[in-house]
Amino acid sequence: MIKTLHAFRPLHAFRLFLAGLLASLALGAHAQLSIEITGTGASRFPVIIPIFENEGRLPQSVTDVVRADLERSGLFTLIDTGPLPMPESVPPDLAAVRGRGADAVLTGSLIPMADGRYDVRFRLFDAHKQQELGAMSLPMSPAQNRLVGHRIADFVYEKLTGLPGYFATRIAYVIKSGPNFELQVADADGMNAATALRSREPIISPSWSPDGQRLAYVSFEQKKPIVYVHTLATGQRRVVANFKGSNSAPSWSPDGSQLAVVLTKDGQSQLYAIGADGSGVRRLAQSSGIDTEPFWGADGHIYFTSDRGGSPQIYRIPAGGGSAQRVSFEGNYNVSPRLSFDGKLLAFITRNAGRFQVAVQDVATRQTTILTDSARDESPSFAPNGRMILYATDTGGRGVLSAVSTDGRIRQRLTVQAADVREPAWGPQIR
């Protein structure tokens, strides 16, 4: 659940009135992201996901969600077997499954429970090895069809690819519509979008807490950049950094207790760590140039952008202090570093012949690959399994979100009707 807030200047009657007026005109939570697949993997798993037994009793389908998730991932081809369910309790005819050209099949049933809920039971089979890959059961109320569908898709994805799925995660992003800004949170498939904050001033740099319950971000509602931490369920907000000058670029520590932020209270933009409650500021690095865009990696390093070498490049420092080490060497504009959750890949934006594109570096070998061919990419962020990178880009002068797999093969585009979408951040995997 997300509570929507309206940002306004305290005690300012005019603004309060205007904010209320404009909020009523502003686009509502009905604005959905629609996702379009623009590229797929080279080899895709052919799978059969038949309708579950008793699924017809639900107002909204579960297996439709599973199929859409798998299809959208670009790693699966769905083979349609018509409207006949394959109950979880009956061993499937795997020879027939192979005959349809499928490598795997999911059987499932909904067992009604006394409290009106259902027990969703399902099994996954490998048609070639002729063996069961796993089984699970999830209780659900009829309204939870999407969440349960995402969880089942995660299960299938993990069993067949060996990587955790990312369908039951959330994304945050900012929509600009005329003079209005909205910080929204949606499911990874773009559905269930809800507005966390409305403002007439810009909102940038949302960053998810590791527990997925809070967002840190920068809001200009007080006419200058200030860092807030916002608890999504309650709508409670807390100013964590409002020092003289600019306060920006929050990034959570892996344990969720601290934030790396950029402050200008002592001069130029420099890196600091601050408690998630705004307490105990401590300086992380010192340079004679601009240091910004910290990303607190799970490898114990803080990656950041600095122009100490005459052009913006990516450096890293140990989170506990130490000397900075340069990480990017190609080109004269490398910004917005983000480390994958396993610490193996570094995504960033590079300027390549005047175009800003998403690049990924293998941290161990320093091998760097440019993944996109667009010109105005910004704000990359990894899916929790490290396989996809979500980023903001531009088509026809309008901001859209795109996702690309780390091998560059799978591409998706997420758009909102008649609005600019920007500043995406992919939330963590909550288990």
Partner 1 sequence: MKRLLPLAAALVLIPTAPVHAQLFGGDTEARNQVFQLRQEVQGQIETTSRGQLELAMQNEQMRAELARLRGQIELLTNEVETLKQRQKDFYVDLDARLRRFESGAAGNASAAPASGDAAPAAPAAATAPPQAPAPAPAPASANTESADYQGALALLKNGKHKDAQTAFERFVARYPNGNFTAGAHFWAGNSALQARDVASANRHFKTVIDKYPKENVAPDAMLGLANSQQAMNDAAGARRTLQSLLERYPQSNAAQVARQRLNAR
Partner 2 sequence: MKKLVLPALLALTLAACSSTGPENGAASVQDRGAGVATVTAGSASGSGIAALTDPNNILSKRSVFFDFDSFVIKQEARALVEAHARFLVQNPQMNMLVQGNTDERGSREYNLALGQKRADVVKQALMLLGAKESQIESVSLGEEKPRCEDRTENCYAENRRGDMLYTGEF
Question: How many residues are recorded in the chain?
Answer: 431
Contact call for residues 259 and 319 (beta carbons, < 8 A):
no
Determine the Cα–Cα distance for residues 47 and 312; give it in Å rounded to an integer: 46
CB atoms within 10 A of CB 419: 18
Backbone angles phi, psi at 155, to 5 degrees: -60, -50
> What residue type is 342 in one-letter code?
D
Is residue 326 a contact point for partner 1 (CB under 8 A)? yes
- Helix-, strand-, coil-residue percentages of the chain, each rounded to 5: 10, 45, 45
Task: Dig out the tokens for 222 from the structure.
Answer: 């007080």
**Binding of residue 368 to partner 1 (CB under 8 A):** no
Under the binding rule (CB under 8 A), the answer on residue 215 touching partner 2 is no
Binding region for partner 2 (CB under 8 A) out of 45-53, 149-157, 265-273, 400-408: 265-273
Asked if 289 is part of the footprint of partner 1 (rule: CB under 8 A), the reply reads yes
Cα–Cα distance for residue pair 427/150, rounded to 1 Å: 15
Of 73 and 350, which CB lies nearer to partner 2 in the complex structure? 350
Sheet with 180-187: strands ordered across: 5-6, 194-199, 180-187, 170-177, 420-426
Stretch that binds partner 1, among 112-120, 183-191, 309-317, 381-389 (CB under 8 A): 309-317
DSSP 175-238: EEETTEEEEEEEETTS-S-EEEEEESS-EEEEEE-TTSSEEEEEE-TTSS-EEEEEETTT--EE
Tell me: does residue 372 bind partner 2 (CB under 8 A). no
Q: Is 204 in the site for partner 2 (CB under 8 A)?
A: yes
CA quadruple 361, 374, 170, 228: dihedral sign: positive
Shortest separation between residue 318's beta carbon and partner 1, angstroms: 18
Q: Does 344 bind partner 2 (CB under 8 A)?
A: no
DSSP assignment of 382-417: E-TTSSEEEEEEEETTEEEEEEEETTS--EEEEEET
Let me know: does 108 contact 93? Beta carbons within 8 Å: no
Which tokens go with 114? 């006394």
Q: What are the counts of helices (DSSP H) followed by strands (DSSP E) for the chain?
A: 4, 31
What is the DSSP code (8-state) at residue 53?
B
- Residue 249 binds to partner 2 (criterion: CB under 8 A): yes
Check residue 286 for interaction with partner 1 (CB under 8 A): no
Nearest distance, CB of residue 307 and partner 2, angstroms: 8
Query: For partner 1, which stretch binds (CB under 8 A), given 143-151, 184-192, 297-305, 308-316?
Result: 308-316
Cβ count within 10 A of residue 223: 8
CB of 200 to partner 2, least distance (A): 5
Q: Please choose, from the candidates 343, 315, 344, 313, the residue with its C-alpha nearest in 3D space to the C-alpha of residue 330.
A: 313
Q: Measured from the CB of residue 311, what is the shortest distance to partner 1 in angstroms? A: 6
Q: Is 106 in the site for partner 2 (CB under 8 A)?
A: no
| 329: contact with partner 1 by CB under 8 A | yes
Point out which span in 55-63, 259-267, 303-311, 395-403 binds partner 1 (CB under 8 A): 303-311
CB of residue 170 vs partner 2: minimum separation in angstroms? Answer: 22
Residue span binding partner 2 (CB under 8 A) among the ranges 125-133, 208-216, 221-229, 280-288 = 221-229
Q: Among partner 2, partner 1, none, what does residue 357 contact (CB within 5–8 Å per kind)?
A: none
Residues 347-366 as x/- pattern, contact with partner 2 by CB under 8 A: --x-x----x----------
State the minimum distance, in angstroms, from the CB of residue 308 to partner 1.
6
Indicate whether 189 belongs to the interface with partner 1 (CB under 8 A): no
Among 101, 112, 309, 321, binds partner 1 (CB under 8 A): 309
Binder among 38, 311, 369, 395 for partner 1 (CB under 8 A): 311
Return residues touching partner 2 (CB under 8 A): 11-12, 14-15, 18, 179, 200-202, 204-205, 218, 220, 223-225, 244-246, 248-249, 262, 264, 267-269, 290, 292-293, 305, 312, 333, 335-336, 349, 351, 356, 378-379, 423
